[in-house]
Amino acid sequence: MLALAASALLAPLSSAAAEDQLNVRFSWKMKGEYATYFLAQDKGLFKAANLDVKLGEGAGAQAALGALIQGQEDIVILPGVFALSAIQKGIPVKIIALYHPKTPVALITWPDKAAKTPKDLGGMTVAHSVGETGTSYLDAFLRLNKVDPASVKRTMMNAQARVPAFIQKQVDVVSVYQTNDLPIIREQHKGTDFVVIDMVEFGLSVPGMALVTSDQNITKKADALKRFLKASAAAIRDAKADPMVATQAIRKAWPSPPSETAVLEQVKATVGAIPVPQGHEIGWIDEKTISDALELLKSAGEIDAPKPTETYFTNVLLAP
């Protein structure tokens, strides 16, 4: 009887202990791009996968990767191109899921000084910041579209100053994430029909939203990571079917969020850019996507000779 009573007392503790905790860090502040993770929390998808997931805002890709290497985080969510650069430098991490093989980034201009195609950018001034996706690879983008990079001027500035400089017409062009900045700018300037060059449509292919973990975690926490990826993929499918439910989930967790309309547009752009690969789980990484991105980094002078592609990613955690 005593043994039965003891086992009854211990049962809840054993059940709780079985729930694996995963610390997940975003590389930036709250934005609609992260909505599917809050949807997974809200719908109990992580809990159903026996996971206790802690989601946290970040202060840049470098800080997020540093916390991952120090063991403070289990997964970081950041632009895949930054992970490639870090791995090239010898940081022992890998991309374990790539949701945006092509970052949904755009160049916008005012209607009275419009650039509708890359060829219209000649003679214009573009706001540029170090590490900023849209303009870090601007030369390659221009060459791809047969535009002389020397014909487009750059003004270097702090990342936070780019959009205000564009709004004040100190520069002609600014690059924006369609999953973040663009819906906010449109809402703040409802009377203006900004002219948008979708850089992906014109050939720019830079790996965007990716999940990254340490080589050590891939060995030691493989099962928990697999469950996280499966639950995340389920949330993405749900958000594709109903973007509003994901919008509501993130806004509940977001102190002073933008309007529902703006966040909904962020969410739609985010899930719209996530492919559903035939015969594979959402997030599956195509080796050619990685090799093409490495060539882009090389052409931009960001890396020298790339390492073998398998150094940068693994699909092992996405396997059935």
Is 8 among the domain residues?
no
Which range is least confidently modeled, 24-28, 76-80, 289-293, 301-305?
301-305
What would the pLDDT profile of 11-20 be if each residue is shown by its tens digit?
Answer: 444 445 578 9
Residues 312, 37, 50, 317: what is their CA dihedral angle, to the nearest 10 degrees? -20
* pLDDT computed for residue 3 by the predictor: 47
Encode pLDDT of 54-93 as tens digits.
999 998 888 999 999 999 999 999 999 999 999 999 999 9
Domain presence at residue 177? yes
* Domain identity same for 86 and 179: no
pLDDT at 232: 99
Domain that holds residue 222: 21-102+207-318
Contact 102, 293 (CB under 8 A): no
Q: Is 317 left (phi over 0), alpha (psi -120 to 50) or beta?
A: alpha
Residue among 199, 193, 192 nearest 177 (CA): 199
Same domain, 94 and 215: yes
Asked whether residue 276 carries a pLDDT value surpassing 90, the answer given is yes
172 with 94, same domain: the answer is no
Q: Are 289 and 233 within one domain?
A: yes
Q: What pLDDT does residue 15 have? A: 45
Query: Within this chain, do residues 98 and 211 fall inside the same structural domain, yes or no?
Result: yes
Q: What pLDDT shows up at residue 2?
A: 44
Q: Would the pTM count as exceeding 0.85?
A: yes
Tell whether 48 and 117 lie within a shared domain. no
Are 30 and 92 in the same domain? yes
Same domain, 114 and 90: no
- Domain boundary among the residues 167, 198, 229 is at 198
pLDDT digits (tens, 9 = 90+) for 136-181: 899 999 999 999 999 999 999 998 899 999 999 999 999 999 999 9
Specify whether 213 is located in the same domain as 172. no
* Residue 309 and residue 174 in one domain: no
Alpha carbon distance 317, 202 (integer Å): 33
Q: Quick one: 279 and 242 in the same domain?
A: yes
Residue 149 belongs to a domain: yes
Q: What's the domain count of the chain?
A: 2
Residues 219 and 146 in one domain: no
* pLDDT for res 136: 87
- The CATH number of whichever domain residue 273 belongs to comes to 3.40.190.10
Given the structure tokens 């990571």, which residue do they identify?
225
> Does pLDDT of 258 surpass 80?
yes
